[in-house]
Amino acid sequence: MSKEAQKEKSMILQKEMVSSLFNDLAHAKELGKKVCYTFIPGNLSELIQTFDMLPVYPEINALQSAMRKKSSAYIKEAERHAHSEDVCTYVKCDVGMMMKGNIGPTGQKIPEPDVLLLSYTGCFTFLKWFETLKREYPNAKVIMVHTPYQENGEITSEMTEYMVKQFKEVVIPEMEKVTGIKFDESKLKRHLTLAAEAEDWITKIFDSTKHKPSPIDAYFAGVYYIGPINIGFRGTQKAVDYYKELYKEIQERIDKGLGPITPEGEMKEEKYRLVVEGPPNWTHFREFWKIFYDMGAVIVASSYTKVGGVYDLGWRHDPERPLEALAEYCMNCYTNMNIPQRIDLLKKCIVDYDADGYVTNSIKSCNSFSAGQLGMMREIEDSLEVPVGFIESDLVDPRYFSYSNIKNRLESYFQMLEQRKKMEAVPV
């Protein structure tokens, strides 16, 4: 098989997975499956699977709408219904999509929720988002778990117990009621085993950026790679197969000394290696990416690809402690870590992947990410003496993406890196 064909295999797999999920969703009633709306950070994918439910991720729908250039109309629709200009644009995009018939990325209708499962409360907007959805879908059951923030940079046994208690007393009984299925711990354990396996593979994949040139872009391509593990397949054999295949393809690139693939083909020369903090802009994703690859900049690590779980430091879903594992997972997502923990994680990325610079994309819509970003940047700049850059855009509202301003800042930033590189090249 040619290299090109192999390269496509993981993409084909992913496409099949996504379309089968949306197909199942469109036929949820016929399939007799209940539908659970939930969010990526702290998603209880394996528990949802244990109860044979189908997951819907509103923020994924929102970013998909943005990439298909539909978010602007959805946001306007939501604003017409009195959602203020300052409301998170993921929310407005989702609400607007719902108002316009709730047609998902595959063109099929997304069913109404049976359950609104809020398993991560670190983002206050999530609470309000589901309050809004509850008004629209009065028959949906709201299940809310309170996730303690890692205020002191650790997960204590009390915190885990507190969450496990909520699972036992609220989440599991409510899910049993909605689905009519009795909780089967051994089934959950099987899913957790598969989850841990996928987590091992994705860790290896994102660790491949250690190579020079880096075989992947851990941000712009990374957002595709995290698809299966984040949107409901973590805990399934399908996810394991996908990541095995992807890893194989990446390994081939490493063997051949190839750089990452961009929409305009393979990146020829890796000039700068960067770590990026913050979500990408989705409305101008391609343009945004192009500014980087045109300059020979590859992203070797990003915090955004860790929103659905931080696996770098060795944590895995442990099937032997099923509910404790779920609890730890929820508390361990990137935005639930305190600022010093995030700084340490990012510093580790910069050092491990030998990055030349650190760039923050500050998102107007997202407080979970934006809070503390400047301080983190200062701390990283001071302790590692790494050149830092700061740009601003938004998730899915095209009105907040100014191409020329972003390009101007990034151009200046790359010239700054260039100077720095030249200085470092001079022998002591």
Which residues contact another protein by CB under 8 A?
Answer: 344, 347-348, 350-351, 374, 377-378, 381, 383-390, 392, 402, 405, 408-409, 411-412, 415-416, 419-420, 422-424, 426-428
CB of 415 to another protein, least distance (A): 5
CB of 378 to another protein, least distance (A): 6
Alpha carbons within 13 angstroms on the beta-carbon side of residue 141 total 16
CB of 161 to another protein, least distance (A): 26
CB of 84 to another protein, least distance (A): 17
Rounded distance, CA 99 to CA 73, Å?
A: 11
128 or 268, CB closer to another protein? 268
190 or 348, CB closer to another protein? 348
Alpha carbons within 13 angstroms on the beta-carbon side of residue 214 total 30
256 or 422, CB closer to another protein? 422
327 or 386, CB closer to another protein? 386
Q: What is the DSSP track for 393-420?
A: E-SS-GGG--HHHHHHHHHHHHHHHHHH
Tell me if 123 sits within 8 A of 333, measured CB to CB.
Answer: no
| Burial group, residue 366, by CB count within 10 angstroms (0-12, 13-18, 19+) | buried
Tell me if 91 sits within 8 A of 104, measured CB to CB.
Answer: no
Rounded distance, CA 398 to CA 425, Å?
A: 40
Assigned token pair, 141: 């059951």
Rounded distance, CA 299 to CA 111, Å?
A: 37
144 or 384, CB closer to another protein? 384
124 or 403, CB closer to another protein? 403
321 or 407, CB closer to another protein? 407
| Measured torsion, CA atoms of residues 109, 112, 114, 117, in degrees rounded to the nearest 10 | 90
CB of 85 to another protein, least distance (A): 14
Query: Going by C-beta distance under 8 Å and a sequence separation of 6 or more, which residues neighbour residue 363?
Result: 278, 279, 281, 369, 370, 392, 393, 394, 395
CB of 65 to another protein, least distance (A): 25
CB of 293 to another protein, least distance (A): 17
| Residue 169: CB atoms within 10 Å | 10
